[in-house]
Amino acid sequence: MSLQLPDKWIWDSWYVQENGVTHAFYLHASRALGDADRRHRHPIVGHAVSTDLTNWTVVEDALIVSEPEAFDDATTWTGSIVRADDGVWWMFYTGTSRAEDATVQRIGAATSTDLIRWEKVSRDALVEADPEHYELLDLDVWHDQAWRDPWVFRFPGESTWQMLITARSKSGDPRERGVLGHATSENLIDWTVRPPLSDPGQGFGQLEVFQFETVDDVPVLLFCCGYGELSPERQASGDVGGVYSVPVDARLEHVDFSNAVLFPRTDLYAARLVRDADDRWMLLGFINVVDGQFVGTLSDPVPVTADPERGLVLRAAEFVGAGSRGIGVGETAAR
């Protein structure tokens, strides 16, 4: 059983685990829009909870767009959550504005003391692309200004916060400018944008929804890319796009996406690594396109481990099968 909302599409998600409860935050939009592609302009950040990664109870939505003239008055998109040293939860998320027709992406934050009620930190963005290192909006080159999907974390034993960002280099073949954007902060409010942690020309026009984890002693960087944003060489090789991973060093100092490997569950997209009640790594993402149709439900947990050469791989003996066949409790379980 997976999280399925009969009247809504679900796509990108991110997670927090606290006291045995997994909190899933996810983008959702009404199926009354008709065309699934329209969901990107009508997202709400939803929230559901589970104790087993399978049975979910929907609770109140976490975020919606701001009033006009805020940096996020058009959309609120994908993010991540961390807990500050004072115990306050911080959700970093992507925002776009109506004035720019949702084409320029920036990063802001909201805070919460209980993971239920969230208050946005500012009407202005906290982190924006630096033109010294990153491509800005040029519709002749790319369809938007990529600066989204913040993944925030600390290296063990350090106080500095790290942010990984979907971004594009200002130079190189436009079809392969996807890079690992980077920013740092000491207090979660004031951020310094750093040069990218990877080079362009490594096979991807963009690299979405990063997550950095050490999976069974192997440092791994997880991301995704659709077929249309792959380099011509990857497309010619038969690559179909989906969820990718690449083994990395523990401090992300030598990230080479040319070594990235496509995860075998190609129906998944924007997947995240989460631990189950037995402390085993699981992968959760949304079911993307199946038989030519966008599905838009959360997958069942997929058991995974990591290989030093291949990155993220299935724990084959425990593979639970395709998430799209589960029967989700969704909103009906909460009412």
The CATH number linked to 111 is 2.115.10.20
Of the pLDDT bands very low, low, confident and very high (cuts 50, 70, 90), residue 261 is very high
Residue 329 lies in a domain: no
Mean pLDDT across the stretch 133-143?
Answer: 97
- pLDDT at res. 1: 62
- Domain residues for the domain of 115 are 68-321
Residue 22 lies in a domain: no
Q: Position 331: which residue type?
A: E
Q: Over the range 81-117, which residues count as b (16 or more CB within 10 Å of their CB) and which as e? A: bbeeeeeebbbbbbbbbeeeebebbbbbbbebeebee
User: How many C-beta neighbours within 10 Å does residue 203 have?
Assistant: 24
Residue 44 lies in a domain: no
Residue 24 lies in a domain: no
Q: What percent of the chain has pLDDT over 90?
A: 93
Number of structural domains (the chain) is 1
Per-residue pLDDT for 327 more than 60? no
Per-residue pLDDT for 306 more than 80? yes
Residue 2 lies in a domain: no
Residue 38 lies in a domain: no
How far apart are alpha carbons 274 and 17 in whole angstroms? 8
- pLDDT at res. 331: 37
- pLDDT at res. 144: 98
- pLDDT at res. 316: 75
How far apart are alpha carbons 184 and 162 in whole angstroms? 5
Residue 125 lies in a domain: yes
Which comes out higher in pLDDT, residue 51 or 332?
51
Mean pLDDT across the stretch 82-101?
Answer: 98
How far apart are alpha carbons 258 and 274 in whole angstroms? 25
- pLDDT at res. 317: 59
Per-residue pLDDT for 231 more than 60? yes
pLDDT digits (tens, 9 = 90+) for 156-215: 999 999 999 999 999 999 999 999 999 999 999 999 999 999 999 999 999 999 999 999
User: Which pTM was predicted?
Assistant: 0.94
Give the gyration radius of the chain's Cα atoms: 18
Of the pLDDT bands very low, low, confident and very high (cuts 50, 70, 90), residue 260 is very high
Residue 88 lies in a domain: yes
- pLDDT at res. 334: 30
Contact 287, 316 (CB under 8 A): no
Of the pLDDT bands very low, low, confident and very high (cuts 50, 70, 90), residue 2 is confident
pLDDT digits (tens, 9 = 90+) for 41-60: 999 999 999 999 999 999 99
